């Protein structure tokens, strides 16, 4: 049984970058909906009781309900943890070195990630992933797909993700997705991303 994780901060803690009403709807309605529908989709199947990462790695044989709601559950569970009211700035240590190695500089990474997020047609996500060879890469996926899934072209372990579905930003930013992407960089919890990087290597 999958459970909706609590937010690690108050709903208004990320203002003005993400407003409290958006957080309330995004977490309490959308994420809660993905969670309950995922539980319904796996109940009574051989997927029941398995870790979400294991389910997603073989999602091609699991059906659309598991793919969409399992992705929605996992993606949002990651998303809340890599945000912080004390975020922003730049990563340090091994993650900073890895970003420089993969992209040339933090600014070059930021530009590539922002382009992936702003350029994702329709609903979807932008990702920073650790590939099987240990190198970092930026990619994007439609809908609630993610790089763990065996249905995407570029696979890896997500360590940073940005939700670019309209429900994630429309109340505050309307059609200004690029402004939302810029605001995202002001609240990234780089300590958490660094922990995920270390675990994924």
The residue among 76, 111, 106 whose CA lies nearest residue 190 is: 106
Over residues 181-187, mean pLDDT:
98
Quick one: residue 125, left, alpha or beta (phi over 0 = left, psi -120 to 50 = alpha)? beta
Domains in the chain, please, with CATH?
20-82 (1.10.287.990), 93-200 (3.55.40.20)
| Per-residue model confidence (pLDDT) at position 128 | 98
Q: Report whether the peptide linkage leading into residue 16 is cis, meaning its omega lies within 30 degrees of zero.
A: yes
The pLDDT assigned to 172 comes to 94
Average pLDDT over residues 15-21: 97
pLDDT value at position 115? 98
- Count other C-beta atoms under 10 Å from residue 24's C-beta: 13
Q: What is the mean pLDDT of residues 174-185?
A: 97
138 near 128, Cβ under 8 Å? Answer: yes
Predicted confidence (pLDDT) per residue in 88-111, tens digit: 999 999 999 999 999 999 999 999
What is the pLDDT at residue 69?
Answer: 98
26 is in an annotated binding site: yes
The H-or-E segment that residue 109 falls in is helix 106-119
How far apart are alpha carbons 161 and 69 in whole angstroms?
17
Q: How confident is the model at residue 122 (pLDDT cuts 50, 70, 90)?
A: very high
pLDDT at 146: 98
Order of all β-strands in the sheet with 124-130? 136-142, 124-130, 157-163
The answer to whether 167 is annotated as binding is yes
Residue pair 173/166 in contact by the 8 Å Cβ criterion = no
**Can you tell me the distance from the alpha carbon of 2 to that of 36, in angstroms, rounded to the nearest whole number?**
8
pTM of the full predicted structure?
A: 0.96
Q: Is 145 annotated as a binding residue?
A: no
**Mean pLDDT confidence for 138-167:** 97
DSSP-based helix, strand, coil % in the chain, nearest 5? 50, 10, 40
Return the percentage of the chain with pLDDT > 90, whole number.
Answer: 100
């Amino acid at each position: 049984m999958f459970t909706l994780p609590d937010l690690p901060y108050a709903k208004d803690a990320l203002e003005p970058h993400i407003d409290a009403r958006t957080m309330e709807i995004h977490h309490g309605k959308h994420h809660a909906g993905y969670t309950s529908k995922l539980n319904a989709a796996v109940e009574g199947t051989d997927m029941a009781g398995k870790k979400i990462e294991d389910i997603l790695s073989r999602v091609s044989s699991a059906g659309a309900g598991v793919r969409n709601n399992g992705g929605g559950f996992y993606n949002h569970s990651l998303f809340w943890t890599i945000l912080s009211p004390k975020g922003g700035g730049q990563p340090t240590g091994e993650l900073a070195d890895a970003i420089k190695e993969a992209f040339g500089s933090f600014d070059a990474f930021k530009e590539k990630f922002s382009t992936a997020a702003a350029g994702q047609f329709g609903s979807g996500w932008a990702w920073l992933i650790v590939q099987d060879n240990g190198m970092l890469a930026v990619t994007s996926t439609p809908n609630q797909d993610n790089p763990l899934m065996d249905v995407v072209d570029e696979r890896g372990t997500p360590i940073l993700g940005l939700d670019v579905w309209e429900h994630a930003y429309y109340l505050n930013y309307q059609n200004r997705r690029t402004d939302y992407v810029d605001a995202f960089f002001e609240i990234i919890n780089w300590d958490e991303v660094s922990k995920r990087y270390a675990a994924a290597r």
